[in-house]
């Protein structure tokens, strides 16, 4: 990819040798999914999308601290009033006359001792009072919006860390367990702490991944790797219907995660659902890059997609394909489609976009790290990845964890260290912990997208020297967003649908970033809304959209089947003479660490 200030660069693709075959095994019951939906969604908030800034610098924390210290200067009256109110309410807490209570959804204070024990109740109320009064003071101050956001971020970091539930003597469940276990819970907690310091970058483990094996009880949909180059493997899944639609689907996962989120287990596998729908399906499985691949950028990945599309066309005999792009994979796909449109090539007919935002500036403005977006921060992020050659997956996971510390750090701190428990064993969390790296060039391109917003500015990006203009892309579009998605907010996803015309179908699922995709029929309380993207304002769209009960998967199936051409006899063998099978799915690249 090139922008007006970035040189174009291309890397070749080559076919390589086969990898060992794997076997399929049993999957996990759907009941567990339903029980742990909230846990999954919170713990997997770092999935499917890279934030180009990657992390915060000491200067960013200093800026946030400066914003916090300005409170007394810009709002002296409010500060004095807040202190007086704090002192009065604190007196009520000490005397036992306070009615302060935690949010019913706040699991930190779910133990009955927080209400029934004199000392614990006052400790909790003092914490709640301090937290709420600081937030109220910041919210009603005369600070600017950016300064308010920075001050609230820093305040939340400090107050969340100081919550009494995070400390051994201040957590009634931990104290009770010490007594019940004769102190062995403390020993177990110390062992967990030492393990995480040595093996998990000093972060508490979120999952026990040992029960899960790729190709055995995860990523088990049958198929064959029928193409491999240095950048990706292409999997062709085995048909399960006697007839299939001629036009195949090529799925493009994000580079920041491994593809098997959509193939965790048969009962919640979008891959299986698609194949059972009679669709010929191909999956791109990206290689996990190392420093030697530092020059792989958006352009390189876009050209990799061209190779994948040509292989799928050659094997199926179809002149064109349908595609699917998730998050950063969708961003790569958009660059590829813009390049095809500029060349007048119509080898892609329809595209499904999953939790994908193509308005980079808007997406950054909607995130916490957007509060610290500045030229200096961008330069520092670019220099950091350039010096290493890659951005480590652990860096991205750590950064996102500190943006949601109660859910992604302190929750596991209490479970692992204070209670001495193992982290939960759950497949989605195991997938989430199976991180990947990003090449420095790709990271740099993401920074360019954040700064220059090229997908909505014709000619601001070039692929192989060809300026792209997404308004020239003529495809059918199906775009999925999640109501509670804080990573790719649904209103920004709606903007993706608008880029491809007023007749694009937009679907809004009642879930967050990951759960909006892992949404099989039968999920309790599931619903979605859908309508063409004819309204310019997403709120106007929401008022006119039609609500449907259940999963959006059957709706998408009907949309896909109507756009997949004629039905033909299912192929009896995978691949072709030109692209013969190399190994069994899920392949070799997905296992790379």
Residue 58 has pLDDT above 80, yes or no: no
CA distance 357 to 498: 11
pLDDT for 361: 56
pLDDT for position 49: 47
Using alpha carbons only, give the angle 189, 194, 199 rounded to the nearest 5 degrees: 125
Strand ranges for 414-541 from DSSP E: 438-439, 461-463, 466-467, 476-482, 505-509, 527-532
pLDDT of residue 503: 95
Which comes out higher in pLDDT, residue 234 or 368? 234
Is the pLDDT at 3 greater than 80? The verdict is: no
Mean pLDDT, residues 125-145? 90
Question: What is the DSSP annotation of 219-248?
Answer: S---EEEEEE-SSEEEEEEPP-SSEEEEEE
* Predicted confidence (pLDDT) per residue in 74-92, tens digit: 878 888 888 898 899 999 9
Report pLDDT for 18: 41
**Which residue out of 229, 327, 493, 583 is catalytically annotated?**
327
Write down all domains in the chain, each with its CATH number in brackets: 2-55+212-477+509-514+570-591 (3.40.50), 58-181 (no CATH)
Which two three-digit tokens encode residue 497? Answer: 């649908």
Tell me: the pLDDT tens digits for 14-32? 444 444 443 333 334 343 3
On the question of pLDDT at 51 being above 70, the answer is: no
Range 518-547 average pLDDT: 94
327 is annotated as an active-site residue: yes
pTM, 2 dp: 0.85
CA distance 403 to 409: 10
Is the per-residue pLDDT at 356 higher than 80?
Answer: yes
Number of H helices, E strands in the chain: 23, 17
532: Cβ contacts below 8 Å, ≥ 6 apart = 502, 503, 504, 505, 506
The Cα 564–Cα 278 span in angstroms is 10
Which of the pair, 546 or 375, is modelled with greater confidence? 546
């Amino acid at each position: 990819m090139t922008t007006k200030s970035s040189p174009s660069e291309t890397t070749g693709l080559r076919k390589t040798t086969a990898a060992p075959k794997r076997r399929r095994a049993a999957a996990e019951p759907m009941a567990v999914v339903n029980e742990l939906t909230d846990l999954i969604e919170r713990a997997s908030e770092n999935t499917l999308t890279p934030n180009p800034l990657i992390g915060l610098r000491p200067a960013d924390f200093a800026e946030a601290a400066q914003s916090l210290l300005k409170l007394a200067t810009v709002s002296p009256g409010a500060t004095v009033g807040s202190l007086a109110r704090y002192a009065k309410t604190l007196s009520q807490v000490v005397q036992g006359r306070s009615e302060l209570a935690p949010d019913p959804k706040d699991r930190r204070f779910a133990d009955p001792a927080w209400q029934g024990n004199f000392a614990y109740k006052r400790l909790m109320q003092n914490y709640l009072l301090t937290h709420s009064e600081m937030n109220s003071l910041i919210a009603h101050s005369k600070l600017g919006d950016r300064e308010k956001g920075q001050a609230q971020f820093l305040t939340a970091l400090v107050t969340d860390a100081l919550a009494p539930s995070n400390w051994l003597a201040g957590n009634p469940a931990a104290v009770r367990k010490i007594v019940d276990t004769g102190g062995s819970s403390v020993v177990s907690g110390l062992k967990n702490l030492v393990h995480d310091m040595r093996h998990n970058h000093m972060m508490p483990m979120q999952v026990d991944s040992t029960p899960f094996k790729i190709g055995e009880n995860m990523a088990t949909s049958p198929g064959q790797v029928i193409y491999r180059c240095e950048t990706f493997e292409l999997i062709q899944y085995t048909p399960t219907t006697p007839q299939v639609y001629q036009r195949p689907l090529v799925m493009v996962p994000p580079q920041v995660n491994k593809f098997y989120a959509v193939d965790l287990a048969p009962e919640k596998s979008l891959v299986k659902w698609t194949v059972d729908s009679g669709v010929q399906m191909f999956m791109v499985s990206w290689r996990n890059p190392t420093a030697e691949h530092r020059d792989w950028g958006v352009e390189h990945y876009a050209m990799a997609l061209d190779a994948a599309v040509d292989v799928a066309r050659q094997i199926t005999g179809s002149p064109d394909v349908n595609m699917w792009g998730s998050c950063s994979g969708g961003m790569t796909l958009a660059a590829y489609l813009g390049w095809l449109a500029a060349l007048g090539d119509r080898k892609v007919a329809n595209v499904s976009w999953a939790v994908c935002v193509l308005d980079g500036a808007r997406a950054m403005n909607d995130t916490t790290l957007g509060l610290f977006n500045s030229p200096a921060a961008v330069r520092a992020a670019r220099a950091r990845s350039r010096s290493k050659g890659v951005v480590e997956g652990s860096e991205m996971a750590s950064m996102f964890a500190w943006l949601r510390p109660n859910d992604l750090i302190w929750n596991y701190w209490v479970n692992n260290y204070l209670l001495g428990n193992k982290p939960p064993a759950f497949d989605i969390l195991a997938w989430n912990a199976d991180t990947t790296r990003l090449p420095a060039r790709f990271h740099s391109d993401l920074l360019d997208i954040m700064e220059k917003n090229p997908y909505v500015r014709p000619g601001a990006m070039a692929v192989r020297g060809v300026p792209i203009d997404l308004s020239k892309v003529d495809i059918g579009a199906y775009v999925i967003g999640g109501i509670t998605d804080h990573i790719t907010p649904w209103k920004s996803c709606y903007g993706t649908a608008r880029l491809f015309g007023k007749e694009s179908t937009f679907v809004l699922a009642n879930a967050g970033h990951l759960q909006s995709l892992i949404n099989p029929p039968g999920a309790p309380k599931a619903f979605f809304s859908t309508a063409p993207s004819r309204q310019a304002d997403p709120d106007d769209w929401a008022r006119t959209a039609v609500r449907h009960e259940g999963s959006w998967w059957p709706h998408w199936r009907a949309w896909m089947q109507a756009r997949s051409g004629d039905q033909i006899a299912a192929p009896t063998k995978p691949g072709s003479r030109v692209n013969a099978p190399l190994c069994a799915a899920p392949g070799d690249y997905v296992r790379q660490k």
